[in-house]
Amino acid sequence: MFLLALLSSVFLYVSECKKVLDESSKTVTPVILIPGIFGSQVDGWYKKESVPHYYCTKDSKDWTTLWLCLECMLPPTLSCWMDTFSLNITDIDDICDREGVQTKVNDFGYTDGIGYLDKNHYVLQYELMVAGIEALPGYRRGISIRGAPYDYRHTPNTSKGKQYLVQLKYLIEETFELNSNNRVMIVAHSMGNPYMVNFLKHISQDWKDKYIAGYVAVAGVFGGSAKAIRALMSGETEDLPGIVINPLSMREFERSIPTIYWLMPPKHLWQDTPFVFANNRNYTAADLHTLLSDALVPSGMAMRGRVEDVPLFDPDLGVDVFCVHGVNQSTPLQFRYADGYFPDGWPTTVTGNGDGTVNIESLELCKQFKRLKGYKTVDGALATHLEILQREDVIAYVADLLTFTRRENYNSTDRGVLNF
């Protein structure tokens, strides 16, 4: 009898807690988190006819981690990994996985695929922000806190990119319905912001008014990044922890993915700014096609031509925008190659202001949004491009926005700028 009474009490307690939680969740502003380039876990299944070395596996037997796979980054397995994860660009109009390879993002709609870059939880990304939001009353992972990872190798105008934008629309609608028809806040990081630009530009205003509470742009690469040029010339490792690798080893992979070409600095923003000094000449944003040709980048000019009309930025998205980015971090800006070392040598890098990855000119385009409602910059520790997601004040800023937008008297037409 005692055990029965105890179980009955526990059941009643759990039921009451669930009731309180369900009631509180009806008042929350749900949030969807969108990662940047290299920010989504990607799995692969493959059965290939040939491999570059005898020790490379032809058949994965099952789905396996391709990104981020830390052990895959080291010799001798790197070339095996690149043969699997690089894209097939032999037909520039049909950019897809290599023959015999299938890929998918991990945990779409939930948070495990974006909390860390890897499944072993070594490289932190959104997890601290997820935990900070989850601590607010009524928030639950997978219900009111959701993730929207995507295959970061693809731009919005590839077939996979277009498919993602459709999936994102359905995810926003589903999240709206799961949360008592409360509008959704979007938080995007890095290249996730140009993806949001392309998404919102092709959605009706009525739909945005119904479903979107606001959009938080964190470290937005709205005007490209000089680092993208260096990646295509000489490779880029993005300082991934614990990896000792020659950037040139990553170059083949990076030259195969459209997003690197998409993130090259556009000429309308950078005008005559020189980025590369080599071959006794200077290359500006207006010379990118020539630069790719001179650097002997396979299909480089065609790849750049395919993406240069896909916008990185548009000031009129029809939603309230809140911007956060780092400043005063040493950020690559110009690259000088010694005679005879272009492009297969490592350049001397001249730095400027920015967040360590994205230049300040690109980040500050955020100020031009017509419905800019909040603007915050951060400096000092954890202000770099990826680390900004771990800052307590940035997490608190997002939490404050969610708390603010859940109030019934919030007026989306108010043009006042919030400074939490």
For residue 23, what are its two tokens?
């009631």
> Mapping DSSP to helix (H, G, I), strand (E, B) and coil, where does residue 284 land?
strand
As given in the structure block, the two tokens for residue 401 are 């926005």
Cα separation, 325 vs 36, in Å, equals 14
Task: Tell me how many helices (H) and strands (E) the chain has.
Answer: 15, 15
Tokens standing for 273? 């700014």
Burial class (CB in 10 A: 0-12, 13-18, 19+), 135: exposed
Q: Tell me phi and psi for residue 342, to 5 degrees.
A: -100, 130
Q: Which residue has the tokens 């040709």?
A: 293
* Residues noted as catalytic: 190, 355, 385
CB 264 within 8 A of CB 292: no
Alpha carbon separation from 128 to 125, 332, 402 (Å, rounded): 8, 27, 16
**Residue 210 in 3-state DSSP?**
helix
The residue length of the chain stands at 420
DSSP string, 318-337: SS-EEEEEE-SB-EEEEEEP
Dihedral angle sign, alpha carbons of residues 121, 126, 129, 134: negative
Place of tokens 């500050």: 364
Nearest-angstrom CA–CA distance, 380 and 281:
36
**Residue 298 Cα distances to 246, 262, 287, 309, angstroms:** 20, 16, 17, 20
- The residue among 32, 242, 247, 244 whose CA lies nearest residue 120 is 242
Describe the crossing of helices 159-178 and 192-201 by its angle, rounded to 10 degrees. Answer: 80
Cα–Cα distance measured from residue 238 to residue 410, given in angstroms and rounded to the nearest whole number: 40
Q: What angle do CA 323, 418, 206 make, to 5 degrees?
A: 70
Residue 213: its H or E element: strand 212-218
